[in-house]
Amino acid sequence: MKKFVVLAVAVLGVLTAGCSSKKSNHQPSATQIAQKATKAVKTVKSGRSRLVIKTIHKGQATTGLVSGQFHLSPMIMKVTLGNGGKLVDHYYFDQNNMYMKSENVWYKGKVNQKSELVKQLKRQLTASGNAAVLTHLKSDLKLKENDQTYTLSYKGVNPAGVKAAKQIIVSEAGKQANKTLKNVRITHFEYQYTLNKKTSLPTKTFISMKYRDKLTKKSVTEKVTGTYHNINKVKKFTVPQAIQQAAQGF
| Cβ 143 vs Cβ 185: under 8 Å | no
For residue 157, give the DSSP letter.
-
- The one-letter amino acid code at 214 reads K
Query: Which residues, other chains included, contact 55 with Cβ-Cβ below 8 Å and sequence gap of 6+?
Result: 61, 62, 63, 64, 220, 221, 222
Q: Which domains does the chain have, with CATH numbers?
A: 30-249 (2.50.20.20)
Compute the CA torsion angle 19, 20, 21, 23 (nearest 10 deg): 90
pLDDT per residue, tens digit, the chain (250 aa), is: 433 333 333 333 433 344 444 444 678 999 999 999 999 999 999 999 999 999 998 888 899 999 999 999 999 999 999 986 667 899 999 999 999 998 889 999 999 999 989 999 999 999 998 898 998 898 899 999 999 999 999 999 999 999 999 988 888 777 777 888 888 999 999 999 999 999 999 999 999 999 998 888 889 999 999 999 999 999 999 999 999 999 999 8
| Terminal-residue alpha carbon distance, the chain | 93
CA 92 vs CA 49, 108, 125, 163, 180: distances in Å: 15, 9, 14, 33, 30
pLDDT for 11? 38
User: What is the helix (H) or strand (E) element at residue 119, kind and residue range?
Assistant: helix 116-126
How many CB atoms are closer than 10 A to CB 41?
23
| Cβ 41 vs Cβ 201: under 8 Å | yes
pLDDT for 26? 74
| Cβ 153 vs Cβ 144: under 8 Å | yes
Q: How far apart are CA 60 and CA 180, in angstroms?
A: 22
Q: How far apart are CA 131 and CA 228, in angstroms?
A: 13
Q: How far apart are CA 196 and CA 188, in angstroms?
A: 27
pLDDT for 40? 97
pLDDT for 172? 78
How much is the pTM? 0.85
